[in-house]
Structure 1
Amino acid sequence: MERYKQENVHPLPKRVIQRDRDVTHLHLARRGLTFIPDLSRFSMLRCVWLNNNRIREVSRASFNCCLTELYLQDNDISSISGALRHLTCLQVLLLFNNQMKCLEETVSELKNMQDLHTLSLYLNPFTQDPDYRQYVLHHLPSVKFLDRKEVTQEERRRAFKLFGVERQRVLDTIAFGRRALPPPTGRKTTNSITKPVGQQGSRKRCTDSRSDDRENPSVPKSIIQFSIMNWTGSSTSQWNHLHDSSKPASGILTVKLG
């Protein structure tokens, strides 16, 4: 009887992954890694944990473009330039407690990630910049949680006010879907222009003013031109066929306003 029970006991079968494309999650944390192995063969890989290692460099060939979550915190990474920009599906990226020093370079690498909603960069040297948070929020508008803190609309407004000055200036000049240019004004010169007068070689100071613009052909002027067509005087096909010499004469009136 005991032998019969032993033969009929079937433990739960272990799931064995036999193909690389079956791997969707990979845990490589706390392995003492100094570099990231080539993981591109895992075509269905979605989440990778590489935190708490000694990784210094990140290679573009390490990950496939379908990755959605990447955990690289607590390493010695100094730069991600050219390594992550192809990960356009990335939604979660943790890079805190590394050695990255260039904020602009890091943010530029993440601009193509339109679905990135969770980002952690604290405990990197560039986070000491007082405008660090506003800079990231302005250039990465999809981020909803930055450094474990939810992004508010007030923060976004402050970021836009701080880093979107030029864009706001352009938006203020938009009228009816087209950019409205300011009226032409006279040129202003900061340096004095002198030129000789007469045969005595004496010099006088010459500066451009608004009154000189009318005599200077190089200054752009605003000209409005429109034409009025008298359609009642246009010849019809019947007149052309009959060669009627008595048809009314057509005319175009052109008016220029300078």
Structure 2
Amino acid sequence: MISLQTLNLFRNPLSQDPGYRLYVTYFLPSVQLLDRKKVTQKERESALHIYNHERSRVLQSIGFGKRIDMPLVAKTVSTRSTPCAKSLLRSPGHEVANHINKVPFENPEDAVFVRAMKRSIMEFSSVDWNKISTCLGIRLENKPEEPHEKLTVKFR
């Protein structure tokens, strides 16, 4: 598998998984053509960042000339205390980062009902097999196929 350059798992149910291409690209680095599509350098870099965090961190830190142990994330909060930052401090019940709107209910049963309705959604997805060409059509066309449509049904 070291020198595998073309891999065609076309119409494989696993190819419907969102991380399928990145997974195959990372674990088979010699693949250049995957499911009739060329593997781009951007896909390879994304796969590296997802599946090998340590090596990705090392590659990112090379530009700084030394190894750093923390992820490279820009600081958003200043370390200096400013009067503006002090004015944002509030009592424990009213945190600034608490962005969830909690609606108080007079009756606890109403709160339970609303919570149950949020959690009671069930979703079922499947591939629309009517729009997929037959085996004979695939052999005759020999062109890349567009992504499959997924039918999604939600039940409450």
> The TM-score by the shorter chain falls in which range?
0.3 to 0.5
User: Under a length normalisation based on structure 1, what TM-score does the superposition of the two structures give?
Assistant: 0.23
Higher helix residue share: 2
Structure with larger RCO (C-alpha < 8 A, sep 6+): 2
Higher strand residue share: 1
